[in-house]
Amino acid sequence: MLLGGSFSGAEGLDGLHSAAKAANEEVALMVSAAVNKKVEMSKKYVTALNALEKTLAANGELDVIIRLREERESVDKTGSTTAHQDKQIVALREKYLKGLAVIEEETKAVRIKAAAAFSKKAQEAEKALTKALKVDEALALRKEAERLSVEIAGGTATEQPLAANPFENLAEMTTLKPLKPIPMPVENPPVVDKPFAIKGPWLTSLTIPAGKYKMKERALIGDRGKQAWVTIVLAPGSTLTGSEKAPLDMSAGKFVSSKSRFDRMQLTADLACAYFFQSCAFVDCEFIRGGVWSGGVPAARFYFDGCLIKGDFAHTLNTDDYGLRVQNSVFEEVTLPSMHYRKLQPGSLVNSSSFRVANCRFVKCKVPTSFLLLTRDCVFENCTLMDDPKKPSGDDEITQAIEVPLYLKASRVTFASLPPKVSFPQKAEIDLKGVTIPTSASLASLLAPAP
């Protein structure tokens, strides 16, 4: 596909913006891929620093080791290097920085190509308008095309600065499309008896045997510093019970569970980590973006399919830190948090595989406006639908029009001041056609029994 899309002069500014949308969508995907490449580059650099430390230790160079560890910690947490000038560190750092520079140049080239393709189509439309004696329209199109071309290229237009977030310029995508199924991992790592007795991080992939476990201390999954990325599978029929002092903390890897139960658990995930839950039950659990690493959007991902969620869920959500995909699930007596969109527009996320709550039932829940914008084909039963505690402003301000139908059953709608671009048509549950919305009873046969 040619970056930038195509349109005719007759389409004018509408066609221009559609072409810019197509260009920005493809650029956003490539920028996201570049971010992942940078993360992988930093992992390789950390591995090289680990090897260098062993050499330095053999030579007794303690002072250099101290500075090497500072370099490694900085790269591990932020991807940035220090200013230390030890020749051994500098030699490795140069390779790392050159690798990052190559990724930056590749990304820049993609942007320039997209902008060039877009500009070519804009010029064709401009010429068509001029031939049709629509000179004023042609001039307006040229001015807007110049601004959009600068944005696509990653520069800064005088009228409208380009934000640092590459997804900000995605134009409105209001046509809802089916998403691909949640990519549930199919892996069978070896079973390890008494895994919660492991001291320190879990550095190898393993399967937790079916059982009832009461966590008494933190379990750390993987070790980003040691490049130990692991897969943890919880065998079906298990129950995990935790406390604030005993979280399941994922540093590097993924956690996969089906037909199991989680009580009072804190489940955290650092950058590029993911939880996958299928036919699971949660009571007063909290899902948390842990760690300090950044570099991908969203940083951590949480997938739920056919799950029952009661009580606590999350205290905060934002599109930088939390990828949230929930489908065919039931929320009961949950106070949902606000969703902070961080310069993204909800209307541009309607077909995102990382931000959707679909075909779900909410029972006796409190749901704020910003969370409702994530929902599609959901039923709200005996719920309170309300304004966000704080009116969206700044990075959270909604400037794109978006409409989300709400299918209600004995629910209270207490909106006092919806954002001007937001619409929530209210319908009855029976108006929802073509999908089956689960109930607690329909999920019961799939869920693990209570302990």
What Cα–Cα distance (Å) separates residue 132 from each residue in 18, 211, 310, 429? 21, 75, 62, 51
Which pLDDT belongs to residue 175? 64
Q: Is 124 exposed, middle or buried (0-12, 13-18, 19+ CB in 10 A)?
A: middle
- Taking residues 277-282, report their average pLDDT: 96
412 vs 386: CA distance, rounded Å: 8
Spell out a b/e string for 350-364, using b for 16 or more CB atoms within 10 Å of the CB, else e: bebebbbbbbbbbbe
CB distance 309 to 332 below 8 Å: yes
Reported as a single tens digit per residue, the pLDDT across 389-411 is 988 888 788 888 899 999 999 99
| CB-facing half-sphere around the CA of 222: CA atoms within 13 A | 24
9 vs 15: CA distance, rounded Å: 8
- Taking residues 73-90, report their average pLDDT: 84
Token pair for residue 450?
Answer: 């209570």
377 backbone φψ class: left, alpha, beta (φ>0; ψ -120 to 50): left
Q: Among all chains, which residue has been given the structure tokens 């050159």?
A: 98
Which pLDDT belongs to residue 4? 44
Which pLDDT belongs to residue 127? 86
Which pLDDT belongs to residue 9? 52
Which pLDDT belongs to residue 430? 93
Counting every residue written for the chain, the total comes to 451
Q: By C-alpha distance, which of 97, 106, 141, 124 is closest to 27?
A: 106
What are the two backbone dihedrals, phi and then psi, of residue 352, each rounded to the nearest 5 degrees? Answer: -80, 135
What Cα–Cα distance (Å) separates residue 273 from each residue in 302, 341, 427? 9, 20, 37
Q: Is the pLDDT of residue 214 over 60?
A: yes
Q: Is the pLDDT of residue 191 over 70?
A: yes
Token pair for residue 444?
Answer: 């019961």
Average pLDDT of the chain, as a whole number: 85
Question: Edge-to-edge strand order for the sheet containing 412-413?
Answer: 366-368, 384-386, 412-413
328 vs 438: CA distance, rounded Å: 6
Which pLDDT belongs to residue 163? 30
Q: Among all chains, which residue has been given the structure tokens 């000038």?
A: 85
Lowest mean pLDDT segment, chosen from 278-287, 291-300, 418-427, 436-445: 291-300
Token pair for residue 449?
Answer: 């029994």
Residue 312 CB: number of other CB atoms within 10 A?
Answer: 18
Reported as a single tens digit per residue, the pLDDT across 321-346 is 999 999 999 999 999 999 999 888 88
Q: Is the pLDDT of residue 112 over 50?
A: yes
Which pLDDT belongs to residue 280? 95
63 vs 78: CA distance, rounded Å: 23
267 vs 276: CA distance, rounded Å: 12
Which pLDDT belongs to residue 303? 96
- Taking residues 185-213, report their average pLDDT: 93
- Taking residues 65-91, report their average pLDDT: 86
Reported as a single tens digit per residue, the pLDDT across 141-173 is 888 887 777 777 764 332 222 233 333 333 334
What Cα–Cα distance (Å) separates residue 191 from each residue in 232, 237, 313, 425? 10, 15, 29, 50
302 vs 197: CA distance, rounded Å: 26
118 vs 109: CA distance, rounded Å: 14
Q: Report if pTM > 0.75.
A: no
The angle formed by the CA atoms of residues 182, 183 and 189, to the nearest 5 degrees, is: 135
Which pLDDT belongs to residue 400? 84
Token pair for residue 97?
Answer: 């920085």
List alpha helices for 59-201, DSSP H. Answer: 62-78, 87-131, 135-153
Q: Is the pLDDT of residue 24 over 70?
A: yes
Q: Is 249 exposed, middle or buried (0-12, 13-18, 19+ CB in 10 A)?
A: buried
